[in-house]
Amino acid sequence: MTEYPPSRRVVITGLGVVTPLGIGVDNTWQALLAGKSGIGPITRFDASGYACRIAAEVKDFDPADHLEKKEIKKMDTFIQYAVAASQEAVDDAGLTIAPETAERVGVYIGAGIGGLPAIEQYHKVLQDKGPGRVSPFFIPMVIVNLASGQVAIRFGAKGPNSCAVTACATGNHCIGDAYRIIQRGEADVMLAGGTESTICPLAIAGFGAAKALSRRNDDPERASRPFDRDRDGFVIGEGAGVVVLEALEHAQRRGVRIYGELAGYAMTSDAFHITAPPDDGAGAVDCMEKAIRDAGVPKATIGYINAHATSTFADRVETQAIKTVFGNHAARLPVSSTKSMIGHLLGAAGGVEAVFTTLALYHGVLPPTVNLEHPDPECDLDYIPGQARQVPIEAALSNAFGFGGVNACLVVKTASGSLDV
């Protein structure tokens, strides 16, 4: 067995996304920097009787562009998105998985909810037509780990294969756990991220009953408004975000482009409430502190935060947590919520936002927060309102906090000048 140091450095070499702003990284990134919104009226079903009738749906996704016909019927949409985003990330990384290296390549892609639309669909089939008409592919269509499973099958990746299911922190947990797997020497390459597609009647009804969703139905593009005084809930979205992580020496041997180094990861628990954070944001504070410490960078080096901010009351809690962590530096630290344009992608949020954070670092361009028209007095940081900002940065932080009090933070730092093994 090959011996590795106890903690190897991990870099990002490939990116892939499916989002409400477009299919693929280039389309999504350009729309994001332009401040475009992917939010509109729900088209997946008749939502006329619902309190919330808006969502950030993925448009123009044809599964036949990414999958063979016989495979499509085996996968609910969240799995299809994961496969599409993974294919883009693998292509972007120029990665070839050969039989002799397959056991050193793994997959770690999760979802917060999984195949809820297929559950709805086949429950109706069962009720209307009986058990004999339920598809034999029903179970593997809906269980969360089949996103990782199908991606591994597609690429022949025989290394570690798993998933996190941690609500809105899923994507960050998957990426962070995959990072640890490479650090420990258990794999050389990991495809990691999150995926979700649950814009369906039961999800909208459930989140609506919890009064979590925006009801700005007459003005959907302005409905997601993190940090704004008039925010009234999040807008549910869908999509997938996947990154290719590699051990530094493995990427260097391949001679591939390196977007940045994934340098820090932490996870904590609020142990407080099933949906709400404590007012002082103590769990988020602890998580950010530990991720920055893990990255080994001074706090003043962090030049951008992609906030979890969902357009709910918790935006002020995250703001306070950032102030607690960064002290005087917080006033000079650019923060933005890309959920203002793509909505809240639930289990996919962390994966997509990790891609955005990496691109911000790589290109030196920080995406804006849109719809910040009347700032909440308790949300008083630099949220990059309205327009993207060109600023070279050395390191960035991506936050993800979820139901159940789960917190997961990632730190990415620039690759230039820091890649000596």
Q: Please give the positions annotated as active site.
A: 168, 308, 344
Pairing between β-strand 189-196 and β-strand 260-269 as defined by DSSP bridges: unpaired
Q: Which residue has the tokens 């991990």?
A: 10
The pair of structure tokens assigned to 196 is: 């979700």
Q: What is the C-alpha separation between 206 and 103, in angstroms, rounded?
A: 41
Q: Are 114 and 78 a contacting pair, CB within 8 Å?
A: yes
Question: Can you say whether residue 151 is alpha, beta or left, with left for phi > 0 and alpha for psi between -120 and 50 degrees?
Answer: alpha
Pairing between β-strand 406-413 and β-strand 260-269 as defined by DSSP bridges: antiparallel
Q: How far from 157 is each of 86, 105, 178, CA to CA, in Å?
A: 12, 5, 14
The pair of structure tokens assigned to 389 is: 């900002």
H or E segment to which residue 336 belongs: strand 335-336
Pairing between β-strand 302-306 and β-strand 395-402 as defined by DSSP bridges: parallel
Of 412, 194, 166, nearest to 269 by C-alpha is: 166
H or E segment to which residue 305 belongs: strand 302-306
> Torsion over CA of 23, 24, 30 and 32, rounded to 10 degrees?
70
Of 200, 234, 305, nearest to 39 by C-alpha is: 234
Q: Are 61 and 23 a contacting pair, CB within 8 Å?
A: yes
Report the half-sphere exposure of 225 (CA within 13 A, side-chain side): 19
- DSSP label at residue 168: G
> Torsion over CA of 39, 42, 48 and 53, rounded to 10 degrees?
-30
